[in-house]
Each structure stands twice: as structure tokens, then as C-alpha cells.
Structure 1
């Protein structure tokens, strides 16, 4: 471990596949190195995590989904440097297989893949979620009968303005923009942006300007650039770019590539995408318009089946959670070219996500 600790990383993993649940690690600001502090498996399959704060005290809280058929969320006290401590009990989301969550306006939101819905839960003073106030069910489907026979909400994310909640649905090839009533905790669909049929959108990331975002598609290895108007809450797709080099269409045990996560650099010049199957990280350059990503390269992810990709708070280090090889790898980033260079790896069985807090 280096001399300068920048903070902590929290790593989610699938307990059903041998994972440790939530692992806490120190982060060395000079090397990007992760050093394990503790872990807890009190919640099953905490596949995605989100940092937040208790509304009453401002204390740091870590939120986790339980990606099970009886979908739930849980809150953890992470003030100390030991294992996260459960606050209250896990709370039902009224949906199947929550895969993502985010915090906005005193509420916790989950995207429930299995049931194709988004859930809102109010946060109590200690940071624990109360009973769900709204379960907004999506409708529709897509041309891939194996994956799109029904809605599959995969991500829910507050926009930078804090006025909207966006949900990405792999089953309906669309992104829904929802409005929250903070008083009642109810969600209503404000608008819906339809993407090319069969692309299977999975996750999105905002450009730091706040005027654009990028939707990474899982069923076809592409990224869709969109204009985003936070004043009107309208999303407009403007172009689609492959995240794999020309002529590369296959990879991995399945014979296909399934992109998983998209990240934009803090200066808005680069975009990175993780590709399961091809087991790579794509590097795309963004120009001043922010509307035309250009694929520059695809480099190895440092493992197999990269389920998540994230930047550290400084924007200098990129981390990949490699689910099937059971490790988190990290990369230093060239500020001029955006190219990642391997810098280290930590064994984490069935790793599924990395967040910082």
C-alpha cells in the first residue's frame, strides 16, 4: 500500500457465485492500488452499490441492491473503516431482480430488471429506506424475442440538474424520463426516447456539460449519442457508434459481445465502454460537439467479463470489475490520448461493481 490514501472503494459481488458481498478497500492516490479492509455478506447478491448520505445527519451511507427474485435494497453505515454495518433491515422494492440504484431528493430509486419496473423509496433520517411509495411499471418489448419479450429496466439515474430520473430499459429499446413528486414519492413518465429496435440499451452516462448523454447498448455493441435538454426533460438520439473495432463481432464463451458500462472523462474528451465477451475496454474520443464519438482503440480489461467500469474521483484511474475472472483491475489514464495502461489488479470473486465514497 502506498503512502497516500485517497479514500475508499466499495466493491459489490454476487454471493450466489462465491462473492464476498460488499468489500471495502483503501485507495492509494499515487498508484490507484486497492487494499482490502473488510467485507460483509449480510445481503444476498449486492450487485450494484451507490454512495449517499443520511438525510438527518449527513453521515455517509452506502446503498446496495439485492439482485434476487424477491428484490430488495439495503442501507449501510460506512463511517468507520471496518465492514459496512446494516442500518435497519433490507427493504422490498416490489420488483424482481433490481440491478441498479440511485439517490435523489431524499429518495432511493431502483431499476428492476426482472419485472421491468422502477421503484421509489423515501429515505429516513438515519439513511435507511422506508416502504416503497411508487413502483412504476414499464410496458413494451423489442424484436429480440429471447431478451426483449418484456420490459427490462436496467439502470435508473438522476440527471445532473436533479430534476429528472432517467430509466434505461433493455427490453423496450428506450429511455424513459420520469418526474418525481418529492412530497408523495410518486413517479410519473414525462417522456420516452426510442432507440433503434434490437439494440437493447443497458446503461447511460452524462457528458459533464450536461447537454448530452451516451447510451451503451448491450444487444448490439454500440453507443448512442443523445442530446439532453434538462429544461424540457427531453432526450433526442443523434447518432450511433460501434464500440468494437471494424470486423470484430464475436468474443468470449458465448460467441457474442455484450457491452456493460459506459464512463465519460471529467473533461468531456473521452468515453470508455466495457465489453463482456470481447473482454475489452473501448476508448472513444469526443469532439467539441460531443455528438460524434470516434472509436480509437479497444484494450484488454485485465480479466474476463467486465461487468462494471468506473473512474475514481480524481479521474486519473479507471477500474473494471471483472465478474468471471473474479478480480478488479485498474488502469492509469493518459490525459492526452485517453488510453488506459494496466496498473494493478485485486482478487475479488464474482466482482460486479466498484463505487467510491
Structure 2
């Protein structure tokens, strides 16, 4: 007697918030999904009451969304809060606050979600905002302005804060400043009126002209992996957890020897298991580069270089299940999906290209 085969259950969609630059009133940031069964993207919600929401993130429960308005000029930029109702798939704007500077390009929440931190690329400072119980953003309680410059006078004649990353222990905030070739380090004390104070040491320097952009830590917190935007390199630093001494272990070029084109490294991410590291390179390369992480030393070996499938891969993200990698090509207005092998770290481009204006940042929904 023949029995009917049981149909395979449909795979759940993989959701993410997508930050963009905007040119028209209907554009904004999006809640998008990748459908594994059909290998296609779709947008399920767009919030257009905001300009240039280039960076977007959510709280741990997913019901509060925070986005920058990356604007310059006399008024400067701002950060806005939204409430998301997942059952109704609706979003409501709550409040906005000035970032007390121009060109905000990065946000991070403190691990306890009491404060929101914004980095202003244009004016080279960072602002600290309290988060109320209802999710609203209060006025900034602290604004820290960096000083200094570095060797590239075209791009480093003043500070340019590019990212703010908490150490895994939640006690220190590392702030990469592309303009000064420094990573400033702050102690986080949430019960103080001004929760950030200079740590010891208060910074470490990278190679002159490198342009530190984004960084990430291993799970133990004793290795720092940083993307150097201007030299298109990934650097590995050892962080001694007893003495707080930071030492560069090695640097790895994303471009081949003799490369003469424009460079512009962008994003860096570790796989959830810490075994593989991924970086994107813009300029004339437009590639995703994959490294294997040595389990003992934390150093890297390059195992793959693959096209981003478009121009200017500013950002990418790994799906929570580790099965996919998604990249956004800002210059060619496309999203690209790769199938990822969690055992080997290797990625393979899928036929899933999706057109969307100026994708800039992914925040995965877990």
C-alpha cells in the first residue's frame, strides 16, 4: 500500500531591519525578509517618516526601533525611536532627539538597554541618551567631542567617529575614530549622571592613515577584529584582560599585492561560533572576503574572495541560523543573498538579487 509523502514544512522567513539613504518621501527604513524556500527577498513594512535612516537597530524584545537621521548642516543630525507591533505589522513614531552633531552614522544600545549611544561622523563626537521605560529617547545627558587629526589631510583633518562597540563584558565602550586613527575607550557606569568616563588606557592607536571603521570582539573578549577603511585591511589586536594592554597581532590586506585601484573597506563580522570572519571591500573591489580564525591564536587565514554582486557593498549580515549571508550594494541599489556553509565558512551567491534604493545597514531580527 502506497502512502502519500508528507510535505516538507515551509522554512520560516528570515527577517531584518534595513537602513537606507533616502531621496524621495516614500523611501525610508524597511522591515525585509528573505524566504529560504524560494530564495527571494521581500519588503513587508516601510517607515518613511524619517530622512536618511542609514543605521537602524532594535531592542532585545524587538518592539522598539531606533534609527539615525544622518544629516549635517547647522541643525545637525538626530536619532528617532519607533514602536513596532509585530502582530499587526505596524510601526509608530515615538520621539526624536538631536545628536548634538552632524552626520550620525552609528548607534548602539547599552547591554542593560538604559542608554542609547550615537556616533557623529561629521562632527567627530558621540552623544548619550537615556531610554525611558516606554521606549522614548530623552535629551542627551552627555556629549563627548574628540580632538586631533592624522596623516591623510583629505579625510583625516579632524575627528570622525565611525562606530561604537561594547566589550562583551558590557563595562567598556570602544569608539573607532577614522579621523584620528584612534580607538577611544570609555568605562560605562549606568548609575552616574554621565555614564561614560575615560578608561585606562583611554585609547589605542592604529597604523597612520588606516582609518579605523568597525570592530568586533571574540566571545572571550580578548581579541579585537577591526576593519581599516582607508587601507582596506583587517587587523587583529590582543586585549590583555588583566592589564588592559592592547597589542596588534597582525594585519591582512583585503586587496591583492600590487592593487592600484580605489579602496574602501566597510563591514566586519564574526560568525556566531567565532570560527570565521567576514569583511566587505568597496572602492574598485566590490568583494566579500572570508577568513578562517585560528582557534588558539585568534589570527586569520584568508580562504575566499567573492564578488558582492554589485557596487559599494557597505554592509552585510549573517542570518541567525548561520545558513545565509546577506549583502547590500549601496552603489547599485541591490540586496544579494549567499548560501553559507557553517562548517567551511564558504559562501555561494544565490539567484536572489532584489532592487532597493541605497541599502546601508542590516540589523537581523532574532
Equivalent in the alignment of 1:253: none
Q: How far is the alpha carbon of 1:311 from its aligned partner?
A: 1.1
CA distance in 2, matches of 1:211, 1:322: 32
Q: How far is the alpha carbon of 1:274 from its aligned partner?
A: 0.7
TM-score by length of 2: 0.89
Query: How many equivalent residue pairs?
Result: 346
Equivalent in the alignment of 2:188: 180
CA deviation string 1:98-140 (max 9, x = no partner): 1101000310001110111111101011112100011111111
Equivalent in the alignment of 1:34: 41
Whether contact under 8 Å (1:93, 1:132) holds in the other structure is yes
Equivalent in the alignment of 1:64: 67
Task: Say whether 1:268 aligns with 2:260.
Answer: no
User: Which protein has greater RCO, CA pairs closer than 8 Å, 6+ apart?
Assistant: 1
Equivalent in the alignment of 1:107: 115
Alignment CA distance shift 1:192-1:63 (3 Å): same
CA distance in 2, matches of 1:302, 1:331: 10
Alignment CA distance shift 1:231-1:97 (3 Å): farther
CA distance in 2, matches of 1:46, 1:125: 23
CA distance in 2, matches of 1:27, 1:311: 12
CA deviation string 1:224-251 (max 9, x = no partner): 101234565553322211112333341x
Equivalent in the alignment of 2:82: 76
Equivalent in the alignment of 2:344: 337
Whether contact under 8 Å (2:168, 2:220) holds in the other structure is no
Structure 1: gaps of 5 or more residues:
251-255
* Bigger radius of gyration: 2
Whether contact under 8 Å (1:165, 1:178) holds in the other structure is yes
Q: How far is the alpha carbon of 1:17 from its aligned partner?
A: 7.6
Whether contact under 8 Å (2:69, 2:79) holds in the other structure is yes
CA distance in 1, matches of 2:165, 2:39: 26
1:223-242 superposed matches below 5 A: 223-229=234-240, 233-242=244-253
Task: Say whether 1:214 aligns with 2:214.
Answer: no
Whether contact under 8 Å (1:63, 1:73) holds in the other structure is yes
Whether contact under 8 Å (1:96, 1:114) holds in the other structure is yes
Task: Say whether 1:14 aligns with 2:17.
Answer: no
Q: How far is the alpha carbon of 1:265 from its aligned partner?
A: 1.2
Q: How far is the alpha carbon of 1:266 from its aligned partner?
A: 1.5
Task: Say whether 1:259 aligns with 2:265.
Answer: yes
1:344-355 superposed matches below 5 A: 344-355=352-363
* SS of residue paired to 1:16: coil
- RMSD of aligned C-alpha atoms? 2.0
Alignment CA distance shift 1:326-1:48 (3 Å): same
CA distance in 1, matches of 2:231, 2:296: 24
Structure 2: gaps of 5 or more residues:
1-8
TM-score by length of 1: 0.91
Equivalent in the alignment of 2:32: 25
Match for 2:59 among 48, 52, 59?
52
Please say which of residues 183-192 and 148-157 is displaced more in the overlay: 183-192
Alignment CA distance shift 1:18-1:171 (3 Å): farther
